[in-house]
Amino acid sequence: MNALACIQTICSAGALILAAWSVLILRKYAFDTTKIADASVSQLEQSQTPFVTPVMRLDPPDDGWGLENQGFGPAINGQLSFVQHGPQIHPLPCLAPGARFTGIHSLFHTLVGNQGGVEIQYESLSGRKYRTFVTWGATGSMQVRFDKL
């Protein structure tokens, strides 16, 4: 084998090793980019998560029981459900962040202490479903649980 062929063989082997190393680095880069994109989507969803909860206000004109969106994103396609003389389901209006719905005052007043609890289901703009479940403890204190469905 002459010197030129030897040099070409060494260069070809070096190029092959460099190409394989580049593919490994690019594969790791693609994996990291996917992780960053997934984290960004999750962070965006969390920054726009609605949280609808019952609140009691004592300041007019909104005094009494109501539902308030204390989250950072709008709550859409909501419903309030409970069991009292059979299953009861009531649709809820869309609630912007910080908005309050007082249309449940007379209804919710009778539900305080309901043994079965009250379930409020709603969605974020991305279609993610959430639930706020309200029960009352032995001392009568309201207990609220928030779930992603």
> In sequence order, what are the beta bridge partners of 92?
78
Which residues does the chain have with pLDDT short of 50?
none
The pair phi, psi for residue 14, each rounded to 5°, is: -65, -40
Question: Which pLDDT belongs to residue 59?
Answer: 77
- Asked if the bond preceding 61 is cis, omega within 30° of 0, the reply is yes
Q: What is the pLDDT of residues 9-20, one digit of tens each?
A: 888 888 899 988
Contact 101, 95 (CB under 8 A): yes
Q: What angle do CA 46, 50, 120 make, to 5 degrees?
A: 130
Indicate the SS3 state at residue 13. helix
Q: What is the pTM of this model?
A: 0.71
